[in-house]
Amino acid sequence: MSTVVRIVADHVYVNDDDGTVLSAGVVEIDGGLITSVEPVSGSRPRGEGVLDLGESILMPGLVNAHAHTPMSLMRGVSEGHSLLTLEGWLGAIRSLEAHLTPELVPASVAVSCAEMIASGTTTFADQYFYAEQYLPVIRDSGLRAAVAYGIVELGDDDARAAGLAAAEAFLESAGDDPLVRGWVGPHAFFVDNQLEAIDAELAMARRHGAGLHTHYGTSAEEEEACQRDYGRSALSIMREIGLFDVPLLLAHCNAIARDELALLAGTRATIVPAASVAMISGAEAPPVREALDAGVNVALGTDNWCGDNNADLFEEMRTLGKLAAFTAKTPNSIPPRELIALATWRGHRALGGSDDDGRLVAGAVADVIALPVGALHRGPAGAQSLASALAYGASGFSSTDVMTAGRWLKRDGALTTVDLPSARAQQQRDFDELMARVRAA
């Protein structure tokens, strides 16, 4: 039996550098890959293996390049705190995380995966503790993921040895599944992972063909530590030891040195701004326009959802677009087509995907989503580009269909892989248990 699927839609947003839209178009998928993308000429295809989505836009699925899926367990608790500062974390999260145990995590990971799928995300990068505990939940969701094992060692020999050993065991157990891969997750270089740990983490990533996922430049802490301890800038040290030669996610980068962005140009490092979190936290705006102009790869992340932000990357696109224009005092500082690029092919590049991934072209991964035309609230024909309507008018939760690697994760408005009501009910029981522990302490 053929596994070929041909998806027809009124508009196919190819996501190439020319902004091509096929109206209508047909995308053929076979074995997890896109095999052809063509305009519909004459009558629309029909018959076996053809799915006609009618008045819809078909586009590449979105990539969330910085998430902490277990933390939906604590959504809301950090309201009024900035988790980008140590003080905020101590005030809002530490007292809960101190009582967290692995069995309280999987249901929240399922909730997070379900919300990502529901809002059109098909690939994500995760970083947290207990990754070995919840890897099966991510596999069951059908999402494509790089799951980084969180490491905090604070210069302590025992903590470093234990963290590295656990990460190594996790990477071995994750195996070579091409859809859900194990990565290395130092929480923050030079802040809670010292140079000895960083060297070992880089070597581990190389051994396993994995990447590194860390926080960087949430404040100037790394820079101050490196100037104090080594008399040099953090980015120059990171470049010299080879950190930019492997896939490296630098989440946030609010305080990254503007005059050193060129050190990242053309490397495998990606900066991952989380615009909503930056704004909610009252942090500095990350220099996204400057990074792109310098030739640095940039992807989008939501960060954790503790501060009441949400999973919807369309929301992140327009939040970043507005933040960049507001801070630069330049309209359209990051144009809509470029915002979509940050949420799609640049995210795949960040995670080590091919140059075609995140576009609707033959050879790319079959990660696609569909939104009804009416959900875009688009201006009159000829007045507003489709890219503008997507970036500024769409809600990811209005997506009807979501596919990763040729498998439907949401079909005709319904999730197909995650039982969200059950996961939410378990998450509530987990939260109640966590709070009972906090009260009893």
Q: Which residues bind Zn ion (CB under 5 A)?
A: 303
The secondary structure of the chain in percent helix, strand, coil, rounded to multiples of 5, reads 40, 20, 35
For the CB of residue 39, give the shortest distance to Zn ion in the complex, in Å.
Answer: 41
Given the complex with Zn ion, which of 29 and 234 has the nearer CB atom?
234
CB closer to Zn ion, 70 vs 396: 70
Which residue carries 């902004």 as its tokens? Answer: 19
CA gap 7, 29 in Å, rounded? 8
Residue 396, sorted as left (phi over 0), alpha (psi -120 to 50) or beta, turns out to be: alpha
Are 104 and 90 in contact by the 8 Å Cβ rule? The answer is: no
Least separation, in Å, of the C-beta of 71 and Zn ion?
Answer: 9
Nearer to Zn ion, 73 or 403 (CB): 73
> Are the C-beta atoms of 37 and 347 separated by less than 8 Å?
no
Least distance to Zn ion, CB of residue 127, Å: 7
Residue 135 or 278 with smaller CB distance to Zn ion? 278
Q: How far is CA 129 from CA 116, 162, 369, 416, in A?
A: 20, 13, 30, 27
- Smallest separation (angstroms) from Zn ion to the CB of 251: 5
Q: Nearest distance from residue 333's CB to Zn ion, in Å?
A: 24
The smaller minimum CB distance to Zn ion, of residues 222 and 303, is found at 303
Pair 386, 41: CB distance under 8 Å = no
> Which one, of 4, 71, 60, lies nearest residue 36 by Cα?
4
CB closer to Zn ion out of 83 and 360:
83
Residue with nearest beta carbon to Zn ion: 303
Q: Of 190 and 392, which CB lies nearer to Zn ion in the complex structure? A: 190
CA distance 181 to 171: 8
Write down the least CB distance from residue 282 to Zn ion, Å.
16
Q: Confirm if 416 and 410 have CB atoms less than 8 A apart.
A: yes
Least Å from the CB of residue 214 to Zn ion: 9
- Toward Zn ion, which CB reaches closer, 123 or 281? 281
8 Å CB contact between 7 and 36: no
Pairwise CA distance, residues 10 & 65, whole Å: 29
The residue among 112, 122, 128 whose CA lies nearest residue 63 is 122
Q: How many CB atoms are located within 10 Å of the residue 296 CB?
A: 23
Minimum CB separation of residue 300 from Zn ion in Å reads 13
Nearest to 187 by CA among 168, 215, 223: 215
Task: Give CA–CA dist 92/8, Å, rounded.
Answer: 48
Q: Cβ atoms within 10 A of the Cβ of 257, count? A: 17
Q: Which is nearer to Zn ion, 303 or 430 (CB)?
A: 303
The least distance separating Zn ion from the CB of residue 134, rounded to whole angstroms, comes to 16
